Structure 1
Amino acid sequence: MELTAEIAAFRAGSGDPGRLVGEFRRAVLLVPFAGGSPDAGGGLMSAVSGGIRWFHAFTDEAALARFAEADGEADREWPYLAVLGARLVDAVVPEVDGPAGVAVNVADPDGSMLFPPVAGIVPDACAVDIEADSAEVA
């Protein structure tokens, strides 16, 4: 099952958290560049809410286009990085100063999903639900 189907099943109450995270890790996600260009030096698009940096990621170009429309910027080009969900949480999240997670398809009210900085999603050293001392032992 693909990520969007797993998100739908989970939101409907019939999904399995393990399958959802597995599909997230295997999915190729589109992460737009902040500032509209990889050369702008802004890195990957994200927003901070509740003390957590959320990387914006999309399951396809149509989902990214809906976000661009909702953001009032559908008339410009949106360069993006295509990256596996696993790479995003295993390599990018640890580079952030503070807790970070991934917000998938944020412009889709019935199809969005947050993957927060908790054990089982991000590396233990970055998880907010694990004490720092216990993450270093692992």
Structure 2
Amino acid sequence: MELTAEIAALRGGTGDPGRLVGEFRRAVLLVPRSGGSAHGEGGLMSAVSGGIRWFYAFTDEEAMARFAVARGEAGREWPYLATLGARLVDAVVPEVDGPAGVAVNVADADGSMLFPPVAGIVPDASAVDVDPDSAEVA
């Protein structure tokens, strides 16, 4: 099953969280670049909410276009990086100063999903629910 179907299943009450995380890790996601340069110079687009940096990621160009429309920025070019969900949480999240997670398809009211900085999603060293001194889930 693909990521959008796993999100729908979980939101509908029939999904499996483990399958959802597996699909997220295997999915190729489109991550907009910040800075607005035609060449995509700058970092990855994100926002901070509740003390967590959320990287925006989308399952396809249509989902990213809905986000652009919702922001009132549909008229500009949206350079993006295509990367695996696993790369976002295993390589990008640990580089952030503070907790970080991934917000998938945030402009889709019934199709969005947050992947927070917790054990099982991000590396334990970046998880907010792991005691760094004992490496145990809090």
Give the TM-score category using the shorter length.
over 0.9
Residue 135 of structure 1 deviates from its aligned partner by: 2.8
> What does residue 98 of structure 1 align with?
98
Code of the aligned partner of 2:89: V
Q: Alignment length, in residue pairs?
A: 134
Residue 131 of structure 1 deviates from its aligned partner by: 0.5
> What does residue 21 of structure 1 align with?
21
Distance 1:15 1:89 in 2: 21
Distance 1:126 1:77 in 2: 32
**1:2-81 mapped onto 2 (5 Å cutoff):** 2-37=2-37, 38-39=40-41, 41=42, 43-81=43-81
Residue 123 of structure 1 deviates from its aligned partner by: 0.1
Give aligned-pair identity as a percent: 86
RMSD over equivalenced CA pairs, Å? 1.0
> What does residue 130 of structure 1 align with?
130
Unaligned runs of 5+ in 2: none
Code of the aligned partner of 2:105: N
Distance 1:134 1:60 in 2: 39
- Higher-helix-fraction structure: 1
**Deviating runs (4+, > 6 A) in structure 1?**
none
Code of the aligned partner of 1:58: F
Residue 35 of structure 1 deviates from its aligned partner by: 1.5
Residue 36 of structure 1 deviates from its aligned partner by: 1.6
Code of the aligned partner of 1:104: V
TM-score, structure 2 normalization: 0.95
Q: Deviations over 1:76-110 (max 9, x none)?
A: 11000000000000000000000000000000000
SS at match of 1:48: strand
Distance 2:27 2:134 in 1: 30
> What does residue 121 of structure 1 align with?
121
